[in-house]
Amino acid sequence: MRYLLIFLFLITFSAKAQQHCGYDFSSYIVLHIHEDGKSENIHNLKVTLVDSVGNDVVNVNNKYSWNKSGQIMKFYENYKIDNDGKKIENTPENQKAKWFFPFSKDTYLLSVTNDFPADNMRVKIEDVSEKPQYETEIIQLYAFNMYILCTTQVQQKAQQFGPRANKPVNIVLKKK
- Please report, rounded to a whole number, the percentage of residues in the chain having pLDDT higher than 70: 72
State the CATH number of the domain containing residue 48.
2.60.40
Reply yes or no on whether the pLDDT at 81 is more than 90: no
3-7, 58-62, 87-91, 136-140, range with the lowest pLDDT: 3-7
- pLDDT at position 32 is 94
Structural domain including 160 reads 28-80+106-173
Q: How long a stretch of residues is the chain?
A: 176
94, part of any domain: no
62-66, 122-126, 154-158, range with the lowest pLDDT: 154-158
- Please report, rounded to a whole number, the percentage of residues in the chain having pLDDT higher than 90: 43
75, part of any domain: yes
110, part of any domain: yes
Number of domains in the chain: 1
Instruction: Give the global pTM.
Output: 0.74
- 140 close to 56: Cβ distance less than 8 angstroms: no
14, part of any domain: no
Q: What is the spatial distance between Cα 162 and Cα 151, in angstroms, rounded to a whole number?
A: 17
